[in-house]
Structure formats: structure tokens, C-alpha cells
A and B are shown apart, each in its own frame.
Chain A
Amino acid sequence: MADSQGPTHGEASGEAPSSPSVTGGGGEGGDRSHRAYWRSNLRLMAVLLAVWFVVPFGLGIVFVEPLNAFHLAGFPLGFWFAQQGAIYVFFVLVLIYALWMRRLDHEHGVE
């Protein structure tokens, strides 16, 4: 189980100057870096979740009728968002998140 604070995150210590010292669960600098990491994560999440909400519920449901006045090939636009577009957007969102977090993990030495 992962519940004991063992001394095994030695690998991370060489990778970033701000990563915590090995013993005692991280020093002051480590905590500050971890807080910055968490804040960046929350900011990114807020942006992505806003898109997650607006596209299906806004474009696909609430504004579907006004959008249906426009067309994308044979699709009324609102209908397209509801049955196609939203799903593509969901995929792009999780892809952006995974890529961005890979960089963020690396910058903060928490990978």
C-alpha cells in the first residue's frame, strides 16, 4: 500500500532544482514548488472544464436552434455540435490536458 512515507522518491531529486530533499516529505522550497504546481494544474483545469461545459450544454443544447440556422456541409450546425462536434472537443480536451501536464510534471520535478 502507498500509505507510508518511505524514502524512495530519490529519482525525482536529480531532475529539477526545486524538487524536495529526500527525507522528511520535502522542505520549504519543495512545498512552495508543489503549491505552484497545484495552482497551475487548477488553472488549466478551470479553462478546460469551462470548454467542457460550454460546448455540449451551450452550443449543443441551449443554443441549438439558433445555431441550426447555419450549416456545416449537410449538417445544421447545432445538430452537428450535439451529435459530432462535442465528442471531438472532449477528445481534444483530454489530449491537451495529458500533454500539458506532462510538461508541468517535468518542470516541477514531480513525475
Chain B
Amino acid sequence: MSILTWTYITVGLSFALYIGVAIWSRAGSTSGFYVAGRGVPPMANGMATAADWMSAASFISMAGLISFMGYQGAIYLMGWTGGYVLLALLLAPYLRKFGRFTVPEFVGDRYDSQLARVVAVFCAIFVSFTYVAGQMRGVGVVFSRFLEVPVDIGVMIGVGLVFVYAVLGGMRGITYTQVAQYTVLIIAFMIPAAAISHKLTGSWIPQIGMGASLIEGPNAGRFLLETLDAVQRDLGFPEYTAAWVSGKKSMADVFAITLALMVGTAGLPHVIVRFYTVRNAAAARWSAVWALFFIAILYTTAPAVATFARVNLIQTVDGRAYSEVPAWFTSWENTGLISFEDKNGDGLIAFNGDSNVNELTVDRDIIVLANPEIAELPNWVIALVAAGGLAAALSTAAGLLLVISSSISHDLLKSFLWKDLDDRQELRAARIAAAFAVVIAGYFGIHPPGYVAQVVAFAFGLAAASFFPILVLGVFDKRTNREGVVAGMVTGIAFTASYIVYFKFLAPEAGPDAWWFGISPEGIGALGMVLNFAVTIAVSRVTAPPVPELQALVDEMRLPREGPASQ
């Protein structure tokens, strides 16, 4: 069967599965809609968190980015996993114990401040929209390549599907479709990875294959990474494993970006609310263990895929006659994501680190999608990757849309504008808000603002600079008060947003020389976070302490034992 037929089969079956699961688990109350009735077992929540977490960027773009970045790809690997340690130790058990529906609601109640809650709602919606745009673009990329439908139609199909299960199912529907989506995406990621690892190194485990020797070709018997370093050197690229190379990021920048991504992870509302869906504080800790377990499977495999893809790409295309390129090359060329320009007119493809000699441009986003084809794996494996990419994008989009809808219906409507909303009306408002959010996300998908991974990186900077400090201080510093957190959040987000806007949009020509401490806009969230901490603590100390009732609330939050009636 052809790739196209297989793709229709795998994508069709996986969509049917998601819709079936969504219908079976749809929500009938606000508690079900916002927090899945708080009855999700830790392991299932770990899987759902992993799917929620691993976005189109993780599945489609990350291995490709690493493949081009070499060592420095570690910023994503460490940055997007290290935050779970912060979540497990500093936030998840306590926020769950506090027992609210949304992150802004926690902020509002812990600091007894509607203003703080509004600022938090603003941050949550802004961060989630920034992030969801990347997901919809991912859906479009997969559809256009694998199902041969235009990007716009692909996005609309994605929007329709998310509409069904996020709007009807709420958190309950999302949770169990995410469990199904995790299963699909991890299988789709691991099968090609294991097959390619086995083909190149003889080991079925990519994490081991990456450190093993090649078993075929002119370099058989030599370590894969050592060979790759040597080949890169020959072609005029920096060595793959070399850390600090001129023209790449500085140590300070790598440090700052990694920290910003970690802290941002722990401050993302759609990740935090996943921990609201379990039974109690202890279950929240175990959820984090499971989540990191499921995430680590993909995140330790991705760097291996990146090296395998790099080796395969170089071996397949460099020096080959353009008239003899394999079929995958042509089909990706048609999407505009690969391009060849015969500069010296010899009809051969030159892949080189020197941009005057180089004739081949490969979009980073296609490395994972094209990898199985480059490695000549069977058609059904290629089709599976399409289903996996869609699972990753859709699961994350759904989680984000839920944050947006609950921020609107619960934090704005119910608490400000329309206080006598009953449970049924609030549920309807949440669904309408979700529906609007899906449509807006679809618009962003059709008119994407830049690279998938780049757009997502900004969401992290902003989450790091706004939420993380005030959530941590809310648990660990009883003296932190409402004046402190409002000042801290506003400072953090204003600083980070203006730095990003200045260097990305207003003065993009001002390069690394103008950056503060050598930190790029991607990493500036780390500094914004430090500023937020400093301002929050300082302002809290010079204003009145929180009333004793609030301090007692913090004491109670620190004890995991089941309080009365936690929804």
C-alpha cells in the first residue's frame, strides 16, 4: 500500500479513537470540565501530562533543531525536562492541596486580591495563545505533507477535532484523549527511532545506539559520534559534540535559556492544572514522577534521532547527483521545505558549512517527519509518524484551550462580571469560551507567526517571568503579600516582553553585542524571573504582612493530609 493510503488509515483510526474516548468521558459538571472531577489516577495523569506537555515542537521540531545545533540542542533537552523537578518539589503538591480550579484562582485566593487574579488571568491567556499558535501550525505542516491537503484545510480539520473533544469533554475528555494520544505519539516516535538505531549501530535502544559504533559503510567500527564529528569537520561544519563554537550561542546564553525553559515549564498554567486533576497532594507528587518518566522516554530518544538523522542526511545527499535523488527528496521539495540550488552547475548536491559552497537548504521541521523515509523504513512506519505528530499537536492544543476557556468563564465571568452564574450556566459559558478559543487558535494556525519552536520559546520566557516566582513564594514565604505579587508580576512580564519585542521586532539588527550579559531574547525570561522574585520580596517586606487567616491558609496548604471537601 502507498504511504498516502497508510496515512489515511492511521490518522483516521487515531481520530476515531480520540472521538470515541471523548464521548465516553465527557464532562457533565464544572468540576468535571475544569479538573476532571479530581479522580484521575497518577499514572494516567502522568501520561496525560506528558501528551499535554510534548507539543508539535517536541515531536516535530525538536530533534530537527538538535540535529542542526549539535551539543547546544541540550537547551531544549534539559530545559524542557528540568522544570518537572521544580514542579514536583515546589508547586504540584501544594497547589493541588489548596484545591482550586485554575492558576489565577490560586493567585487570587492565596493573596486575597482580585487585582492579582486579573493580572494572572491576563498572563495565562497571553502565554497560552502564544503557545497554541505553534500547535496549529504543526497540525497544518503534517496535513500538507502527509495527507496532501492544503495547510488551511488541515488546520480546519484539526480545529474541528479539538472542538469536539475539548468543548464537549472539558478536562475529563481532554485527559483521557491525552492518554490515548500519548500512546500514539510515543509509539510513532519510538518505532522509527529504534529501527534507525538498529540499522546504523545494531542496537535497538536509541539511547545506547547513540553512543555505539557504526556497523556499516566506510566508517564501520568507529563510534557514531566520533564519525559524525569528523564528517562535520570535513564538510566545514563545527564538530557535532563541540560545546562553544564561534557563531553559536555563548555559555551565558545557553545557561540562561536552559534556566528560562525549566522555570517556564514550572510556570505554565496548562501544565500546572494537570496536577489539579488527581485525588490529593501525594498523588500530585506521583503524577510528576510518572509524567517525567513518560516524557524522558521521548526526550532521551530525541537527541539520538537527531544524530542518526544527521548521519543519514549527509550520507544520502552529499555529493549525490541531483537527477538521482530518492523519492522523499522530491516530495519534500514540492512542499518547499527542501531546496537545492546548483551553484557550481555540476549537477551534484554539495552540503557544506560554507554558505558560498552549500547548495542544499533543509527546513529543520522536517527532520523527524522525513527521517523514516530517509532511512528507508516501511510505508506504515512513515504513516505512523504523521499520526504521532498530529497527536502531539492536538493534545497540547486541547490543554491550552482549556486554560483559556477556564480563565474566561471561571476567573473573569464567574468571579467578576456575572457572580450569580450557576453551575450549569458556567459550564455553558466555559464551552462557548472554548469554542471561541479554538477558532482563534485556528486563525493563528493558518497565519502562523514564525517557527513552531521559536514561538513556543517566548511563551516560556513569559511564564518564567510572571507565574513561577509568585507561585513558589505563595507556598514558601508567608510574608509575601498582594502588593508584592502585583508589583513582581508586572515588573517581570513588562521587562521580559519589552526585551523580546525590542530585540525581535523593533531592532532586530541589534545583534548579540547589544544583548544584556550576552543573553538572547529566548533566555531573558531567566532574568525576568530573578527580577520578579526580587521585586515581590522587596515590596512585600515594606508593606503590611498578609492577615493571619491567609497565613493559616498557607500553613494548611503545606500539609498534604486531605482537608475537608476538596471538590
Whether chains A and B associate is yes
Q: B-contacting residues of A (Cβ < 8 Å)?
A: 1-9, 11-12, 25, 34, 37-38, 41, 45, 48-49, 52, 56-57, 60-62, 64-65, 68, 72-76, 78-80, 82-84, 86-88, 90-91, 93-95, 97-98, 101-102, 105, 109-111
Q: Write the chain B residue with the least CB distance to A6.
A: B564
**Chain B positions 527-567 with a Cβ under 8 Å from a chain A Cβ:** 552-553, 555-556, 558-567
A110 to B300, CA, bound (A): 36
- Distance between Cα atoms of A9 and B562 in the complex (Å): 7
- Is B226 an interface residue when CB atoms closer than 8 A count as contact? yes
Q: How far is the CB of B481 from chain A (nearest CB, A)?
A: 18
* B434: interface (CB < 8 Å): no
**Across the interface, do A87 and B78 meet the contact criterion of CB distance under 8 Å?**
yes
B561 touches A12 (CB 8 A): yes
Binding site for A on B (CB under 8 A): 66, 71, 73-74, 77-78, 81-82, 84-86, 88-90, 93, 97-100, 109, 207-208, 210-213, 223-226, 241, 243-244, 251, 254-255, 258-259, 282, 285-286, 288-289, 292-293, 296, 299-300, 303, 552-553, 555-556, 558-567
What is the CA–CA distance of A62 and B256 in the complex, to the nearest angstrom? 12
Q: Is the CB of A83 within 8 A of B73?
A: yes
Q: Are B292 and A90 in contact (CB under 8 A)?
A: yes
Kindly state the separation between the CA atoms of A86 and B303 in the bound complex, as whole angstroms.
13
Given A82-B71, A83-B73, A98-B288: A111 and B88 within 8 A (CB)? no
A3 partner residues in chain B, CB cutoff 8 A: 109, 553
Cβ contacts under 8 Å, A5 to chain B: 556, 564
Residues of B within 8 A of A65 (CB): 243-244
Docked-complex contact B211 and A73, CB < 8 angstroms = yes
Residue of A2, A9, A37, A48 near B98 (CB, 8 A) is: A2
CA distance A83 to B282 in the complex (A): 30
7 CB < 8 A contacts A-B: A3-B553, A9-B563, A34-B555, A34-B559, A61-B258, A98-B88, A110-B561
Q: Which of B74, B77, B560 has the most CB of A within 10 A?
A: B74
CB contacts (< 8 Å) of B288 on chain A: these are 94, 98
Chain B residue nearest in CB terms to A52:
B85
Task: Check A94/B88 contact, CB under 8 A, given A73-B212, A78-B243, A105-B282.
Answer: yes
Q: A8-B565, A82-B74 are in contact. Are A74 and B82 (CB under 8 A)?
A: no
Chain A residue numbers with a CB within 8 Å of B84 are 90, 94
Distance between Cα atoms of A80 and B282 in the complex (Å): 32
Please give the distance in Å from B212's CB to the nearest CB on chain A: 6
**In whole angstroms, how far apart are the Cα atoms of A110 and B561 in the complex?**
5
Q: Is the CB of B211 within 8 A of A80?
A: yes
The chain A residue with its CB closest to the CB of B209 is A74
In Å, the complex CA distance between A101 and B90 comes to 13
Measured between C-beta atoms, what is the minimum distance from A97 to chain B in Å? 6
Chain A: CB-nearest residue to B287: A98
Docked Cα-Cα span, A38 to B244, in Å, equals: 42
Q: Are A84 and B207 in contact (CB under 8 A)?
A: yes
Residue contact A72 to B211, C-beta cutoff 8 Å: yes
Bound complex: CA A43 to CA B282 (Å): 18
Chain B residues with Cβ under 8 A from A61's Cβ? 74, 251, 254-255, 258
How long is the Cα–Cα vector from A25 to B231 in the complex, in angstroms?
A: 68
Query: B91 CB to closest chain A CB, in angstroms?
Result: 12
A34 to B566, CA, bound (A): 21
A interface, by DSSP: helix, strand, loop or mixed? helix
Decide: A74 and B243 in contact? CB cutoff 8 A.
Answer: no
Complex alpha-carbon distance, A95 and B90, angstroms:
14
- The distance from the CB of B270 to the nearest CB of chain A, in whole angstroms, is 19
* Contact partner, B258, options A41, A56, A84, Cβ 8 Å: A56
Known A-B contacts A1-B567, A64-B71, A73-B211; A110 and B82 likewise in contact (beta carbons under 8 Å): no
Q: Which of A2, A38, A41, A90 contacts B81 (CB 8 A)?
A: A90
How close is A41's CB to chain B, nearest CB, in angstroms? 8
- Report chain B residues within 8 Å CB of A7: 564
Q: Chain A: which residue is nearest B98 at the CB level?
A: A2
Is there an interface contact between A86 and B77, defined as CB atoms closer than 8 Å? yes
State which of A2, A74, A78, A94 has its C-beta within 8 Å of the C-beta of B213.
A74
Residue from A9, A68, A90, A102 in contact with B282 in the complex, judged by beta carbons closer than 8 Å? A102
Which residues of the other chain, B, contact A82 by a CB distance below 8 angstroms? 71, 74, 77-78
Residues of A within 8 A of B66 (CB): 83
Question: Which of B71, B89, B109, B292 is the one whose CB lies under 8 Å from A45?
Answer: B89
Determine the distance from Cα of A86 to Cα of B555 in the docked complex, in whole angstroms: 33
In the bound complex, residues from chain B placing their C-beta under 8 Å from that of A12 are 561
CB B332 to nearest CB in A, in angstroms, measures 26
Q: Besides the contacts A73-B211, A73-B212, what 16 more A-B pairs have beta carbons closer than 8 Å?
A: A2-B98, A9-B563, A37-B559, A41-B558, A61-B251, A64-B243, A74-B212, A74-B224, A75-B225, A82-B71, A83-B303, A90-B84, A94-B88, A94-B292, A95-B289, A98-B88
Chain A proximity of B156: nearest CB distance (Å): 37
Q: Is the CB of B225 within 8 A of A86?
A: no
Q: A86-B78, A90-B292, A94-B84 in contact; A2/B565 too (CB < 8 A)?
A: yes
In the assembled complex, the Cα of A80 lies from the Cα of B223 at a distance in Å of 14
User: Which interface residue of A1, A41, A94, A111 has the most chain B CB atoms within 10 A?
Assistant: A94
**Partner among B259, B282, B296 whose Cβ is within 8 Å of the Cβ of A101:** B282
Among B213, B289, B558, B565, point to the contact of A38 (Cβ < 8 A): B558
Contacts of B223 in A (CB 8 A): 73-74
B552 touches A1 (CB 8 A): no
Q: What B residues does A95 contact at CB under 8 A? A: 289
Contacting residues, chain B, for A6 (C-beta < 8 A): 563-565
